[in-house]
Structure 1
Amino acid sequence: MKTNFLIAALVSVSFFSCSDDDSKGKSDFKLFTSSNTSGKVTVSDLSLTTPSVMSFTIPSMDTDGVFYDNESDEIILASRTNNVLEAYGNIEEAMMNASTSLSLSYASTSNFNNPREVAVSGDKVVVTQDQNAANSNTNKLLVYQKTATGFTLLNDYTVNFKNWGIFLNGNTLYATADLTGDIVVFENFFSNANGPITPTKRFTVEGLVRTHGIFFSAKDNRMILTDVGAATSDSDGGLIVINNFTSVLSATANLGTIPLSSQVRVYGPNSSLGNPVDVTYDYKTENIYVAERLNGGGKLLTFALPTATADANPSASRMEAGISSVYLLRK
């Protein structure tokens, strides 16, 4: 599909998911984004011939780590405004009725300050706490159990690296170590007792300046990372793809380095990548969706899966003020 058509499709309709239950009108190919400046979450239905985009106002102005539970039809996110997990329900109904806002269904207690990401496996929801003065410069991973009516705190872990992105693959948690080019791996993550926990493995990605976004596709064994570079630059960011990831990881020693030769990289002015803070990927279309926070004040960028290192143009770009996270529902 050509770039101009994609851009027009994304921008032209109101406000991106194939049907797992046609009788209920559900779509299972949707993209969700959050913002830390607009007080909105955006849902894009990608199952439509002309994708639709709909934004909803929510009570929290500053949010991160968006996730969608298709079974309960709820958006889950970390509120940096209130320092709680929040759930917003009846998303399908809100889309059908062209609603402009969502009501809070329930929230967790406030057990963290300065959250950066959310990852979900089954009924477990993990939240990162990034260090700042208000939390005594403590980096944490907190585990909640989601029920039909709330979130219950199960575990409170401290870690010795600055938090940002996380991704759960079953009982394995991958995390980015902010201010570095390092990735950490926790195997049997949910088996840890409360308190300080140590990664199973930590490794450096050669050439990665400052890691933020992380996504692992088990379907095609592909790890995708983002590099925000210098926080004040809107043009030095990048996208890194590591194919055959589990084999590459096994061949990399603890505290070792994944070399440039094992990476496919997108960097350069044509990419519009400056501060790409989050990333997700569709293994069927092989499209990569990036939350670019700084360039233009915030953009949702779409890239075709790169096959060679280059300065690639996004196949689609949509302005989205303060975009902070992105999540794809794909069945």
Structure 2
Amino acid sequence: MNRNFLKIGFFIGLGVSLITSCDKDDDSTDNPENLESTQLYASNNNDGNITVYDMVSGEVNTLATTSTMAEGVYYDADTDEIIQASRSSNQLNAYTGITTLLNGTSINVSVSAAFSSESSLESPRDIAVKDDLVVVSDNADVDGDETTADGRLFIFTRSNGNLTLRNTVVTDFALWGIEFVGNDLYAVVDKTNQLAVFANFTATNTTNTTVSATKTIAIEGIVRTHGLAYDKGTMILTDVGSAMDDADGAFHIISDFDSKFNGVSDGGILVVANNQTRVAGSATSLGNPVAAEYDADSNTVFIAEAANGGGKVLAFSNADAGGNISPSVNNSLSKASSLYFYSNK
């Protein structure tokens, strides 16, 4: 049995509420075989494999990749492929024919990349996709001076089975999680409690350049944020607290996010009171929550927890009450690093 196959009954139950959910990044309304499909994809920094949690059947499958560490994962139903950022080979790898692989009888399948980008990355952390463009956040030191904050956003073009680097954007802060909301790219300001946005990111930044964010605000109550997720007006932000503490993590739920973000001036603070719900405490299993996904239709928050218990994939259903709540799902996944939620319904 797959070592990550835990609490299957809940995943089946959770799947009932998730099958009406919509994928937050991909505009596709169907999968290649017109089947009901609701999955959570997870990468990790232990063996670099891709774990696929099927929310309908309850099955958990492992796609064994050639990477040994990976952060950032994305599933495209139109092409039936997974794109993953490899930290061991410093490139993007695309794996095709995913539906056929997952419909097989084996729960452990070795996969080889159908195509890959050049090895131009140095320390990839997250992936965000907009149309035929794949953006990768990279937190390697750019100028060689550790006292100055910087990072890079690599923009790749997907075309005819190729991933080609279009251009690189240098930022004046260190990066971690990124997320498209429409044409705007939101980015975590690593080592802080700040969130930045780049308006019309891919259309505005078409050549190698250095840019400042359109706007940056602080999120009160967060020590150090890493992961973010957005769906239907709600933003989730994780708080890793101290990287050395495996029990001080949290996440914040910000409903009506667009209005609240727009209501704070550049450099201002979004206060907790009447704006945010915080989930934290000993019952949560949160230590270093490095990535998040959110399904608004089922009101479920998914977390990639890198440290607590060695690494976990957690799910919190109806977390609106906040506080010290237990996860509805608590699955072991060593050094879990990133997530992607997909549903075709």
Q: Shared topology, TM-score over 0.5?
A: yes
Q: Secondary structure at the match of 2:82?
A: strand
Match among 237, 242, 259 for residue 254 of structure 2: 242
Q: In the alignment, which residue of structure 2 is the partner of 1:130? A: 139
**Using the alignment, how far apart are the partners of 2:32 and 2:115 within structure 1?**
27
Q: Assess, with a 3 A threshold, how the Cα gap between structure 1 residues 23 and 120 changes in structure 2: closer, same or farther.
A: closer
Query: What's the TM-score, normalizing by structure 2?
Result: 0.87
Residues 248-284 of structure 1, C-alpha deviations (whole Å, 9 max, x = no match): 0111000000001111000100000000000001111
Q: Assess, with a 3 A threshold, how the Cα gap between structure 1 residues 22 and 132 changes in structure 2: closer, same or farther.
A: closer
What amino acid is the match of 1:186?
F
Shift of 1:321: 1.1
Match among 95, 113, 134 for residue 88 of structure 1: 95
8 Å CA contact 1:18, 1:26 repeated in 2: no
**Using the alignment, how far apart are the partners of 2:263 and 2:200 within structure 1?**
20
**Using the alignment, how far apart are the partners of 1:239 and 1:169 within structure 2?**
19
Residues 27-69 of structure 1, C-alpha deviations (whole Å, 9 max, x = no match): 4311100111123101111123xx1110121000101101001
Q: In the alignment, which residue of structure 1 is the partner of 2:156? A: 144
**Using the alignment, how far apart are the partners of 2:291 and 2:87 within structure 1?**
16
**Using the alignment, how far apart are the partners of 2:269 and 2:160 within structure 1?**
43
Counterparts of residues 1-331 of structure 1 (less than 5 Å) = 7-9=7-9, 24=33, 26-48=35-57, 51-99=58-106, 100-132=109-141, 139-190=151-202, 191-192=204-205, 193-217=207-231, 219=232, 221-261=233-273, 262-331=275-344
What amino acid is the match of 1:104?
A
8 Å CA contact 1:11, 1:318 repeated in 2: no
What amino acid is the match of 2:9?
A
**Using the alignment, how far apart are the partners of 1:55 and 1:106 within structure 2?**
20
Q: In the alignment, which residue of structure 1 is the partner of 2:25? A: none
Greater displacement, 131-140 / 23-32 = 131-140
Q: Assess, with a 3 A threshold, how the Cα gap between structure 1 residues 148 and 263 changes in structure 2: closer, same or farther.
A: same
Q: Secondary structure at the match of 2:102?
A: helix
Q: Assess, with a 3 A threshold, how the Cα gap between structure 1 residues 27 and 38 changes in structure 2: closer, same or farther.
A: farther
What amino acid is the match of 1:7?
K
Q: Assess, with a 3 A threshold, how the Cα gap between structure 1 residues 294 and 25 changes in structure 2: closer, same or farther.
A: same
8 Å CA contact 2:234, 2:296 repeated in 1: no
8 Å CA contact 1:140, 1:157 repeated in 2: yes
The alignment's C-alpha RMSD in Å is: 2.2
8 Å CA contact 1:10, 1:52 repeated in 2: no
**Using the alignment, how far apart are the partners of 1:22 and 1:230 within structure 2?**
41
Q: Secondary structure at the match of 1:313?
A: coil
8 Å CA contact 1:226, 1:238 repeated in 2: yes
8 Å CA contact 2:43, 2:336 repeated in 1: yes
8 Å CA contact 2:74, 2:84 repeated in 1: yes
Greater displacement, 292-301 / 20-29 = 20-29
What amino acid is the match of 1:244?
D
Shift of 1:158: 0.3
Q: Secondary structure at the match of 2:321?
A: coil
Greater displacement, 99-108 / 206-215 = 99-108
Q: Secondary structure at the match of 2:241?
A: coil
Shift of 1:186: 0.6
**Using the alignment, how far apart are the partners of 2:61 and 2:212 within structure 1?**
41
Q: Give unpaired runs (5+ residues) of structure 1.
A: 1-5
How many residue pairs match? The answer is 319
Q: Give unpaired runs (5+ residues) of structure 2.
A: 1-5, 21-28
What amino acid is the match of 1:62?
M
**Using the alignment, how far apart are the partners of 1:285 and 1:152 within structure 2?**
36
**Using the alignment, how far apart are the partners of 1:250 and 1:133 within structure 2?**
30
Shift of 1:330: 2.1
**Using the alignment, how far apart are the partners of 2:264 and 2:234 within structure 1?**
16
Greater displacement, 222-231 / 23-32 = 23-32
Shift of 1:85: 0.7
Q: Secondary structure at the match of 1:273?
A: coil
**Using the alignment, how far apart are the partners of 2:256 and 2:161 within structure 1?**
40
**Using the alignment, how far apart are the partners of 1:181 and 1:267 within structure 2?**
16
